[in-house]
Structure 1
Amino acid sequence: MAHKKTLSSLFFQFLLLAFMCFFHNVNGDGLKVGFYEKTCPRVESIVQKITADKISLAPSLAAPLLRMHFHDCFVRGCDGSILIDSTKTNQAEKDGFPNLSLRGFQIIDAVKTAVEDACPGVVSCADILALVARDAIYQIKGPYWPVPLGRRDGKVSIASESATLPSPFANIAQLKAQFASKGLSVKDLVVLSGGHTVGTSHCSTIAIRLYNFTGKGDTDPSLDSEYVPYLKSKCKPTDTTTLLEMDPGSFGTFDESYYTNVLKRRGLFLSDSALLNDPETSDYVKLQAQSLGSTFLKDFQESMVKMGQVGVLTGSAGEIRRHCNMIN
Structure 2
Amino acid sequence: MAAIVTLFCTLLIFSVSSLVNSLSLNYYDKTCPQAESAVTNAVQEATMNDNTVPAALLRMHFHDCFIRFTLVSCILKRCDASVLLDSVGNNTAEKDGPPNISLHAFYVIDNAKTAIEALCPGVVSCADILALAARDAVVLSGGPTWNVPKGRKDGRISLASETRQLPAPIFNISQLQQSFSQRGLSMEDLVALSGGHTLGFSHCSSFESRIHDFNTSQDIDPSMHPSFAASLRSVCPVHNTVKNAGATMDPSATTFDNTYYKLVLQRKTLFSSDQALLSTRMAKGLVSKFASSQEAFTKAFTKSMIKMSSLTGGQEVRLNCRVVN
TM-score under structure 1 length normalisation: 0.88
CA distance in 2 between partners of 1:97 and 1:166 (Å): 13
Equivalent pairs counted in the alignment come to 298
Alpha-carbon contact 1:204-1:238 (below 8 Å) kept: no
Shift of 1:267: 1.2
The one-letter code sitting in structure 1 at the alignment partner of 2:214 is F
- Name the residue aligned to 2:114: 113
2:273 aligned counterpart, secondary structure: helix
Q: Distance in 1 between matches of 2:294 and 2:102?
A: 35
- The equivalent of 2:269 in structure 1 is 267
CA contact (8 A) 2:257 2:294 kept: no
Whichever residue aligns with residue 321 of structure 1, its letter is R
Kindly tell me: are residues 293 and 70 of structure 1, through their superposed partners in 2, closer, same or farther at Cα, counting changes over 3 Å? closer
CA distance, structure 2, for counterparts of residue 322 and residue 142 of structure 1: 31
CA deviations 1:111-143 (Å, max 9, x no partner) are 001111111111110000101111122112111
Structure-1 separation of matches of 2:193 and 2:20: 18
Whether the 8 Å contact between 2:142 and 2:257 is mirrored in structure 1 is no
Aligned to 1:309: 310
Which residues of structure 2 form unaligned runs of 5+?
1-16, 69-77
Tell me how far 1:307 sits from its aligned partner: 0.8
Change beyond 3 A, Cα 1:200–1:28: same
Which residue of 57, 72, 94 corresponds with 1:65?
57
Q: 2:316 aligns with which of 285, 301, 319?
A: 319
Q: Is the CA contact 1:127–1:150 (under 8 Å) kept in the aligned structure 2?
A: yes
Contact 2:258–2:294, Cα closer than 8 Å, also in 1: no
Tell me the CA shift for residue 171 of structure 1: 0.5
One-letter amino acid of the structure 2 residue matched with residue 42 of structure 1: Q
Contact 1:26–1:309 (8 Å) recurs in 2? no
Alignment deviations for residues 157-213 of structure 1 (CA, whole Å, 9 cap, x no partner): 000000000101101000001100001110000000000011110011111100111
| Alpha-carbon RMSD | 1.6
The answer on 1:46 being equivalent to 2:48 is no
How far residue 260 of structure 1 moved from its aligned partner, in angstroms, is 0.5
Q: Which moved more, 1:174-183 or 1:217-226?
A: 217-226
TM-score by length of 2: 0.88
Measure, in 2, the Cα distance between the counterparts of 1:212 and 1:226: 17
Query: SS at the partner of 1:221?
Result: coil
Measured in 1, the distance between the counterparts of 2:229 and 2:18 equals 41
Amino acid at match of 2:268: R
2:20 matched to which residue of 1?
A: 28
Q: Within the alignment, does 1:74 sit opposite 2:66 as a pair?
A: yes
- Report what 2:74 is aligned to: none
- For 1:192 and 1:293, locate their aligned partners in 2 and report how far apart those are by CA, in whole Å: 14
Determine helix, strand or coil for the equivalent of 1:28: helix
In 2: Cα distance, 1:119 partner to 1:243 partner? 42
- Partners of 1:26 and 1:221 lie apart in 2 by 48
Amino acid paired to 2:248? E
Quick one: percent identity of the two aligned structures? Answer: 47
Task: Find the aligned partners of 2:293 and 2:175 in 1 and give their Cα distance.
Answer: 31
Residue 5 (structure 1) aligns with: none
Residue aligning to 1:18: none
Q: Please report how far the alpha carbon of residue 101 of structure 1 lies from its aligned counterpart in structure 2 after TM superposition.
A: 0.4
CA distance in 2 between counterparts of 1:59 and 1:26 reads 38
Which of 280, 283, 294 aligns to 1:281? It is 283
> Helix, strand or coil: the match of 1:244?
strand
Residue of structure 2 equivalent to 1:234: 235
Q: Secondary structure at the match of 1:295?
A: helix
Q: Which residue of 2 aligns with 1:142?
A: 143
Amino acid at match of 1:35: Y
Moved over 4 A (4+): none
CA deviation after TM superposition for structure 1 residue 66, in Å? 0.1
Shift of the 148–90 alpha-carbon distance from structure 1 to 2, 3 Å rule, reads same
> Which whole-Å CA distance do the structure 2 matches of 1:216 and 1:93 have between them?
37
Summarize the Cα distance change of 1:216–1:326 in structure 2 as closer, same or farther, 3 Å threshold.
Answer: farther
| Aligned residue number for residue 4 of structure 1 | none
* In structure 1, distance between residues paired with 2:154 and 2:141: 28
Alignment-mate amino acid for residue 52 of structure 2: S
